[in-house]
Amino acid sequence: MAYSEKVIEHAENPRNVGTLDKNDPNVGTGLVGAPACGDVMRLQIKVGEDGVIEDAKFKTFGCGSAIASSSLATEWIKGKTIDEAEAIKNVDIVNELNLPPVKIHCSVLAEDAIKSAIADYRKKKEQKNL
Amino acid sequence: MAIRLPVFMDYHSTTPVDPRVLEEMLPYFTEKFGNAASRSHAFGWTAEEAVEYARERIAKLLGAQSEKEIVFTSGSTESTNLAIKGVAEFYRDKGNHIITTVLEHKSVLDTCKRLEKDGFSITYLPVSKEGLVDPDDVRKAITNQTLLVSIMLANNEIGTVQPLEAIGKITRERGVLLHTDAVQGFGKVDFDVQRMNVDLASITAHKLYGPKGVGALYVRRNKPRVRLVAQIDGGGHERGNRSGTLNVPAIVGFGKACDIMATEGKAESSKILTLRERLRLKITSQLNEVYLNGSFEHRLPGNLNLSFNFVEGEGLMMAIKDVAVSSGSACTSASLEPSYVLRALGVGDELAHSSIRFGLGRFTTEEEVDFVANLVVNKVDKLREMSPLWEMHREGIDLKSVAWVAH
Ligand SMILES: Cc1ncc(COP(=O)(O)O)c(C=O)c1O
Ligand code: FES
């Protein structure tokens, strides 16, 4: 299948590839997907005191669309508050990257990764506040 | 020598027409355009003569006893349909059992599935981890209801070459017919219908540097004489086995392609094997966690099917888009299921998702091999840097122990 230009661009020059310290109390880590399904995404956020996402990193095992979806997701959430980031929907990613129907699950995975990273961050905060 | 991009390394999917083949075909589109079935004038006779010459050349490469054993079709999918359905229908009152393998091409599997709906019983033999059928399993599966055994010569994904000679001994001894989908191995590995006791063989021109859309079914006429029920009704061409005006230029090309293979096939196969090994060794000496899928020993010379652990196949194909290859990854298929062939070998889903099939052929060069090897090594390194699984693997985490959230 032919890829959209935006998918190719992100896959060739992925933004924010890398790892944040998962033990840092200000870092939330989301790990979604499964190797057996052919896609695994890890997305991490570092949140400032003001609730704004200062940094975001990802690593993805998956097709070009999965890599592009996670790259785009990190780009979008940086500088947003966690509430704003949580509002990102997979259809936004589908539209931005022109993903075909068979690749929609790659965008779903990216949305799940954002939500899962935020949930992890919140859990850490709650535990700290106990 | 400068190489032209993209590099074609997908010779299992199809092959370019050899210029020598094309040259022989061309007059049959224009001045020698006759219908081979026209008996009343020179145009028809010329076409018929060309068809008969092609039949001889093809029969010779198959090791057939007579050119009358060749039935032209539109390709191997049709040949296989004719072979399996034709035998099933003709011999229906003698039995209802067919034996095949889990590794077959869809043209065999789906034909068998249709017969299953019609009341036939099909045994799908398993294969070893190496992707090979055990002839003993064939022997054990034969019952007094068995009409036909259909086992491919060489697999299109992993290139494994089946022990047809041993299987043919068994089927002959038990009086069961043997069909083989010989598409991938014909002209490239040892194959001889006579010595191997093959009764029906499906072949196609476009995998051996001939044109697309023409194939043949070899149907044994002597010891035993195999009978078929035609699947396409009409003017009774091809001795009533396959109606329809013959595609004369394509058949001429098919004949020439076989003739070239008959004289050059052996040398070509050893040249391709050398290149394939060069590719394999360059890649495996520079990358770890790379696995060969399918038997190393019993393998098509041009096939290299590798799994690059921790890298997803389609992502890798995109990264190496300057080379045309294919992947067993689910992401490349509409069904999102990884390759059933790799599954049948017991390759885990993770590694099945990470597989790439390289297919080398007549026009592959050493420069291309070196280019592809370097590209693959670079991109796999890069994708692994981007892979959470690679990172976990290097931290010593057992990926099987992780509670994955499958979706
Ligand atoms: C093993 C095998 N069998 C059958 C076929 C089908 O051949 P054709 O394209 O001539 O129908 C192919 C190729 O597509 C093949 O690889
Ligand atoms: S990762 Fe499989 S389709 Fe995207």
What long-range pairs does A86-94 form, CB within 8 A, spacing at least 24? A86/A114, A86/A115, A86/A118, A88/A114, A93/A69
Helices (H) and strands (E) in chain B, counts: 12, 13
**pLDDT value, residue A91:** 96
Q: What is the mean pLDDT of each run of 10 residues along chain B (407 residues)?
A: 91 97 98 96 98 98 98 98 98 97 96 97 98 98 98 97 98 98 97 98 98 98 97 94 97 98 98 98 98 98 97 94 85 68 92 95 98 98 96 92 76
Catalytic residue check, A37: yes
Atom 12 (ligand 1): residue with closest C-alpha?
B183
CB contacts under 8 A, B 253-312 vs A, are 310-312
What is the overall mean pLDDT for chain A?
Answer: 94
CA distance A30 to A119: 8
Degrees to nearest 5, angle at CA B74 with B72 and B77: 105
In chain B, which residue's Cα lies nearest the Cα of A1? B332
B107 lines ligand 1 (CB under 6 A): yes
Beta-carbon separation of B315 and A63 below 8 A: yes
Question: At a CB cut-off of 8 Å and minimum separation 6, what does B194 contact?
Answer: B63, B64, B65
Higher per-residue pLDDT: B216 or A128: B216
The catalytic position among A106, A108, A109, A117 is A106
Peptide bond between residue B388 and the one before it cis (omega within 30 degrees of 0): no
CB contacts under 8 A, B 336-375 vs A, are 336, 338, 348-350, 353
User: Which residue type, as a one-letter code, is found at position A6?
Assistant: K
**pLDDT value, residue B333:** 57
Burial of residue B95, with CB atoms counted within 10 A of its CB: 0-12 exposed, 13-18 middle, 19 or more buried: middle
pTM listed for this prediction? 0.94
The residues of A whose Cβ lies within 8 A of any Cβ of B are 1, 3, 8, 11-12, 14, 17, 19, 31-42, 59-64, 66-67, 102, 105, 108-109, 112
What is the distance in angstroms between the Cα of A69 and the nearest Cα belonging to chain B? 12
Question: At a CB cut-off of 8 Å and minimum separation 6, what does B352 contact?
Answer: B307, B328, B329, B330, B338, B339, B342, B343
CA distance B31 to A85: 70
Q: Give the mutation target among A106, A107, A112 for probing the ligand 2 site: most ligand atoms within 8 A of CB.
A: A106
Question: At a CB cut-off of 8 Å and minimum separation 6, what does A73 contact?
Answer: A43, A56, A58, A88, A93, A110, A111, A113, A114
Beta-carbon separation of A108 and B407 below 8 A: yes
**Distance from the alpha carbon of residue B336 to the mean position of ligand 2, in angstroms:** 8
Does residue A107 contact residue A97 with C-beta atoms inside 8 Å? yes
